[in-house]
Every structure is written in structure tokens, then in C-alpha cells.
Amino acid sequence: MKTDDLVATLKRLRLFGLLARVDEIRSKPWLEELLAIELEEKTRRSLAHRVHIAGIGAFKPVTDFDWKWPRRVDRALIDDLFSLGFIAEGVNVVLLGPNGVGKTMLLRNIAHRALLAGHAVIVRTASDLLGDLIRQESSEARARRLAVYVRAHLLCIDEVGYLSYDARHADLLFEVVTRRYEKGRSILLTTNRPFADWPTTFPNASCVVTLVDRLMHRSEIVTIDGDSYRLREAEERQRERAAARKRKKEEPKG
């Protein structure tokens, strides 16, 4: 390892004792293995910390997504999102579709891929994010919490449109969207309502038009159309249970 690379690695690992004796240790046979062990542990701990901060929750892997179920879905576009190029470009992504078609599943899988790639990610439902901001007891505390949501490389906001919010909540979402827009940082968002219906989600909020405009300015809109996959799974489970009860009933007794 070149001296400059070795110095950079020791600084990254905060191994200041070795750094102070870099000329003495750089030719030692154990050095490469030691650094590999330290780098592996640092990577593991960093990922564990970012996963905890992200709040991604449990999710099914994207390999379980039934691409044949939706009536309309752009698989090529979704596959491209997993390359994470939109984060580097500061592009927003909106997953639009009715309940139960896999929007949250895709959001969490993309968020997890971003975490594995080393990005700082936050995943929240719209109600959790806005509720967290609204509960801050002072403007200073709210500003600090807002900075957390702005600082992440990728902010994922799930379930916009499922509940209605007052103008104060709309203003807070506007703050998040605007600050991330100004810094060129991506938002990945799911909603069951087209943007034209967002005034229903945020009634009496004067900022909705501008909020939508800034979300859409640099964005990919992924529309998924279909019946609820969750409802299909529930119906399949019900049929399986009914069949099991029937088999049990028909078993010979004795």
C-alpha cells in the first residue's frame, strides 16, 4: 500500500497510534490483514447504525414482487431505480398507485439497496414524519429535527394521501421538500393520489401548488395500476384455510 493510501486508511479508521508510527509499520507483514479486519468491522458497524437510523422496518424482498399481477407497471424503470443513479442526480421518485399494489415494498427495497451502497437513508410514513416535526416543543428543536430530514442522502416518505392534514402540517412538508430541493437531494415518495388531488390531502394549505411543483421539477413518476395484492393474498389464505377444514372434516374417524 502506498504511503498516502496508508495514511488515509489509518485516519479513516482513527488508528492514530499506528498513524504516528507509519514509517515504522508500513512494511510489517501483519499490517494488511489488520487493516482489512478493521475496515470490515467499521463497515459492519456503519451499516448497522444507518439501518437503525433509517427505520426501514421489515419488508419482503423485491424478488417476491409479482410483476404479472399489476395491470400496469414499468419494470424497466423500476429496475433502473435500483441502480441508485437518481440519488446521485438529485432526482425525486414518486410511486403512484392504489392501495396494495406494492409501492411500500418497492420503496423499502430501494431504501435498503441505498443503505448497502453506503448512503444515509431515512424512511418514514408521512404521518410519522409530520407528527415528529409538529411535536417539537420549540422552533430551535424543530429546526434541528428538520435538518436531520434534510441531511440524509435519501428521504423516503411513505403513504402521502392516506390521511388529511391541516395547513401547519402542509407547511412543514413544504419546508422539507424545499430544503431538499435546494440542496439537490432526492425524495422517494409513495402516494395513492395523483398530484391534482393533493389539495384534498392538504385542504386550505396555500403552499400545495408550489410543493407539488418542486417535487415534480426533477422527478420520475412511476405509476402502478392494479388490484390489491394484499387482498389477493388474504383471499388465497382464506381458500387454503377452508380447504384444510374440509380435508379435516372428511378424514375418517376412528
Over residues 185-214, the pLDDT tens digits come to: 999 999 999 999 998 898 878 899 999 999
Round to whole Å and give the CA distance between 107 and 162. Answer: 16
- All residues at 6 or more sequence positions from 171 whose CB lies less than 8 Å from its CB, including other chains: 205, 207
Q: Which residue segments constitute the domains of the chain, with CATH numbers given?
A: 62-231 (3.40.50.300)
pLDDT at residue 246 greater than cutoff 80: no
What's the pTM value of the predicted model, to 2 decimals?
0.77
Cell numbers 425524495 label which residue?
Answer: 187
Average the pLDDT over 10-36 and give the result: 86
Torsion 102-199-218-133 (CA) sign:
negative
Torsion 57-63-68-73 (CA) sign:
positive
Round to whole Å and give the CA distance between 201 and 65. Answer: 29
pLDDT score at 10: 86
Average the pLDDT over 94-121 and give the result: 93
Torsion 163-225-82-91 (CA) sign:
negative
pLDDT at residue 179 greater than cutoff 90: yes
Give me the numbers of helices (H) and strands (E) for the chain, helices first please. Answer: 13, 5
The dihedral formed by the CA atoms of 18, 19, 23 and 24, expressed in degrees to the nearest 10: -10
pLDDT score at 44: 76
- In this prediction, residue 106 has a pLDDT band, given cuts at 50, 70 and 90, of very high
Q: In this structure, which amino acid lies at residue 28?
A: K
pLDDT at residue 254 greater than cutoff 60: no
Round to whole Å and give the CA distance between 158 and 168. Answer: 19
SS3 92: strand
Round to whole Å and give the CA distance between 96 and 85. Answer: 20
pLDDT score at 225: 92
pLDDT digits (tens, 9 = 90+) for 37-92: 888 888 778 777 777 778 888 888 999 888 988 889 999 999 999 999 999 999 99
